[in-house]
Every structure is written in structure tokens, then in C-alpha cells.
Structure 1
Amino acid sequence: MKKLTLLSAALASVMVLTACESGFNDSVKEYCDTQRKQAPSEIEALPQITAFVPMKFEPKTDRMPFVLPKPEISQPASAKPVSCEQPDRERPMEELEQYSLDNLFMRGTIMMDNKLRALIQTADGVVVRVVPGMHMGLNFGKVIRVAPDSVEVEEFISDGNGCWNKKSSRIDLIEAE
């Protein structure tokens, strides 16, 4: 009885394996062939690794690596009076002096009280009416002229020695797209 059961189990397994063999082997062989064709022919060599060279730390001369550096001490400005042109630092700051001229955009003009006023928009989206004499920009800029298509601003640029040079800039009208 045991021999018969063992024989029937062996016969069944042989039949199952032969039935699967024909379709399975063909698809596996086809897959392997396509993979061989797509495989790269050469493998790139690994890059050369440079050897790490440790540096000797001298605590008395080198800066401590986990401590923030101290700010440099600058030379105090000379106390002698400067005889060149200076911006007026005593006047109160105006609304548009907190923005760089690069962040201000001319959106149009409007005529009020027989004066042409420019409509200047900040990067925040606030629109301010500007007339000659107002100040704008980070470099003590003063509006010199308002034209229908531009605003002319005269700025003070420091020369680093305590004197200031005037520079003329212009903000052009940005047309709607």
C-alpha cells in the first residue's frame, strides 16, 4: 500500500513538472535573452579614492571648531569734520525708504492738484503716490522728477572714506502684460 501511494505521488509530480516545463521554459528563456541584449557591455571602473590626511590641531593658535568666531574690531571713524556732501540723517524716514529701488515698480501716473504723481508699488503689493521731493530706496534716494513713463531718483552712494557721491537712477513704467 505504501509503495502504491509513493508511486502515484511520484507519477503525479512528474506529470505536473512536464506540463509546466514547455510554457515556463520558453518565457524564461525569452526574458533572459532580452536582458542579455539590454545589459551594459562594460562596467565603469570605480574612481580612485584619495587618502585622508589628518590635520594636527593646535588649540593655542587655531580657532576652536565649535565656537562661533568673534566679530572683527573695526577702526573708529576719524572724528574730524568731513567737508564733502552728506545725506540728511536727521530727517524722519519715509515709507518707501525701507525698500531697495530694485523692489519698487512704477505702475502708472495720476494727476492730482495739478501735480503729476507716480504710482509706485512695493514688493508687498502696496501702492504709494510719489511726487518730487519725496524719498525712496535704501541709499537716501530723493525723487527728482516724475514723468509719464518714469521716475528719476538721485541716491547717495558712500565712497568708504566718509564722503558720499550722488548717483542718478530711474524707475521705468511697467506695462501690463
Structure 2
Amino acid sequence: MSRIPVALLSALLLCGCEPADNTADLRDFVALTKASSPGRALDPLPQPQPYQPVAYSAQDLKSPFAIASMLKAQAAPPRIDNGIRPDLDRPREELEKYSLGSLKMVGTLERDGRLALIRVPDGTVQTVQVGNFIGTDYGKILQISDNRIELLEIVPDNNGGWVERRNALTLAE
């Protein structure tokens, strides 16, 4: 009994494998198009030109690919000594080992002149006065007000010299 459903199922599957001619209309269209359009012969391919070697004559000129030659062409302007340079022989002060961005002004005091209170990255607070140096750019304190420390830094320029730059540290809120 179980063989009859299997045989019917097999016959049904084999019927699905019968080739169907679904492309008859496509074949008719292609045949009609070929019959109605006149064919012409293709033009022959052009003959390749024979190879003619060319002698390289630019070996004595600058190579456009050599970076060193381009850098020499863009020589740095001559260094002008303006007399500005940091005093590298003086002893460095405690706050010169911190960048100016890592220092915070937290207040001022009046004791034999105005003092500023500076918090350093380790959390301690130190006092500075006019004439002290702070920051990594040889910053000398010029003036201390209630909410600002004015300083003059000496920074390297692009030509191997030094220039002065004004900067300030403001009261942190």
C-alpha cells in the first residue's frame, strides 16, 4: 500500500521535468530582426604601427620624482638673529615643568605685593609673583590682576630662532 503513493509522487515529479518551450516568442523576434535588418561587413582592423624606439634625452635634468630636489628648491629663508632667546643657564623654577594648559589660577593673595595661587596637576596649590617663570615655554610673569596672570613666553620660530609671545592664565571658575 505504501508503494502506490510513492509511485504517484514520482510520476508527478517526472512530469514537472518535461521541457517547456517558453522562449518560442523570443526566438521568433530574433529571427524576424535578423531577416529585416541588412547586415554589412565590418571594417578591417587598422594595422599596428611598427615600434620605433626613442632615446631618453632628459637624464641631465632634475627628476620630478626626487623629493630631495624639491626640498632644495624650497630653501628656508635665512635666519635672522633678533637677540631673543631664553636664558638656559638660570635654574628652572618648579612650575616650569608643567605646560601652561595644565595649570589653573585659583585665586590671589596680598602679601608684600600681589601673589597668584596656581593649582598644579597633582592637586597642590603654589604661589607665584611677578618675575616668576611658569609653563614649558619660558613664560615670565609680567602682571597679576584679580582674575588674570599676564606673561611673556619665548617660543621657537620656524627658522631656528626665538620669538616672544604674550599669553595669559585666567582665573578658573
- TM-score normalised by the chain length of structure 1: 0.51
- 8 Å Cα contact 1:106-1:173 kept in structure 2: yes
Which residues of structure 1 form unaligned runs of 5+? 1-79
Q: Are 1:136 and 2:145 counterparts?
A: no
| Cα distance in 2, alignment partners of residues 121 and 155 from structure 1 | 20
Give the aligned CA root-mean-square deviation in angstroms: 1.7
Deviation of 1:153 after TM superposition, in Å, equals 1.3
AA partner of residue 151 (structure 1) = I
Match 1:125 to one of 123, 126, 148: 123
Deviations 1:10-56 (A, max 9, x none): xxxxxxxxxxxxxxxxxxxxxxxxxxxxxxxxxxxxxxxxxxxxxxx
| Cα distance in 2, alignment partners of residues 81 and 141 from structure 1 | 22
- 8 Å Cα contact 1:155-1:169 kept in structure 2: yes
Q: Are 1:157 and 2:155 counterparts?
A: yes
| Cα distance in 1, alignment partners of residues 142 and 125 from structure 2 | 19
Deviation of 1:93 after TM superposition, in Å, equals 0.4
| Cα distance in 2, alignment partners of residues 166 and 92 from structure 1 | 20
| Cα distance in 2, alignment partners of residues 148 and 120 from structure 1 | 13
Report 1:53-68 matches (<5 A): none
Which residues of structure 2 form unaligned runs of 5+? 1-78
- 8 Å Cα contact 1:117-1:146 kept in structure 2: yes
| Cα distance in 2, alignment partners of residues 81 and 163 from structure 1 | 7
- 8 Å Cα contact 1:82-1:162 kept in structure 2: no
Indicate the percent of aligned positions where both proteins have the same amino acid: 37
